Structure 1
Amino acid sequence: MRAGELLGRTAYDLHGRRLGRVVDLVVRGGPDGRLRLTDLVVARHWYGGMSGRLIGPERHPSGPWLIRGVARLLSRGSRQVPADLVRLVPPVPGFPFGEPGGGPG
């Protein structure tokens, strides 16, 4: 599975409520050293993904106040959701945890 297959998809919760569009992915290293998709960042509005969430005050508290303020404003509608609590439309085979025994990508 590639990131490009997930980005831009519409995300719904397990009850069918629309969460927004996938704008970013969160991966973490497992005990075996392999990366694993754990969370998706979804945004309700098209501009929610523009902030990058890395320049926001919660991730990077230093820097010019104007950039921090704009990042906070743009990322208001975005949130991080555990991948196993999300259903994507159109569906992606192997989402959220990849296919058993499959190679990378």
Structure 2
Amino acid sequence: MRAGELLGRAAYDLHGRRLGRVVDVVVRGGFPDGRLRLTDVIVTRHWWSRVVGRLIGAERHPSGPWVIRVVARAGSRSSRQLPADQVQLLPPVRGFPFGDPGS
């Protein structure tokens, strides 16, 4: 599974409620087999909130102009990091969330 297969997919919770679209993925290492694993997905309701909130957000420019920080905080409120096993994607991706056991 590649990250490009996940990005832009519609994401739903386990009860079928729409969460938004996948805009990023989180992978972590340190597992016994030495491989990276997809652990979380970042979902946003609006495409612009990810761009505004992360590219010019307060965490990148903590001493920047206050107006930009306020707009970035407001725009990034709809971005959420969720555990991959609590998200369903449409259309489904083979092997999501933990990959194919045979690969």
CA distance in 2, matches of 1:101, 1:39: 21
Question: In the TM superposition, what whole-angstrom CA distance separates every residue of 1:10-29 from its partner, at most 9, and x where no partner exists?
Answer: 00000000000001111111
List aligned pairs for 1:30-49, cutoff 5 A: 30-32=30-32, 33-49=34-50
| Other-structure match for 2:10 | 10
2: CA distance, partners of 1:37 / 1:100? 14
Structure with the higher helix share, 1 or 2: 2
Amino acid of the structure 2 residue aligned with 1:5: E
Deviation of 1:79 (Å): 0.6
Unaligned runs of 5+ residues in structure 2 are none
Q: Residues 63, 41 of structure 1: CA spacing in aligned structure 2 closer, same or farther, 3 A cutoff?
A: same
Q: TM-score if structure 1 supplies the norm length?
A: 0.82
Q: Deviations over 1:40-62 (max 9, x none)?
A: 111111212213637533x4473
- Is 1:25–1:37's contact at 8 Å kept on the other side of the alignment? yes
Tell me how far apart the structure 2 counterparts of residues 27 and 51 of structure 1 sit (CA, whole Å): 23
3-state secondary structure, aligned to 2:77: coil
Alignment of 1:25-104 (within 5 A): 25-32=25-32, 33-51=34-52, 53=54, 56-57=57-58, 59-60=59-60, 62-64=62-64, 65-102=66-103
- CA RMSD across the alignment: 2.0
Where structure 1 has 5 or more consecutive residues not aligned to the other structure, the ranges are none
Q: For the residues of structure 2 that align with 1:37 and 1:62, how far apart are their CA atoms?
A: 29
Question: What amino acid does structure 2 have at the position aligned with 1:49?
Answer: R
Cα deviation, residue 67, structure 1: 4.0
Moved more, 88-97 or 70-79: 70-79
- Number of equivalences: 101
Q: Percent identity, aligned pairs only?
A: 69
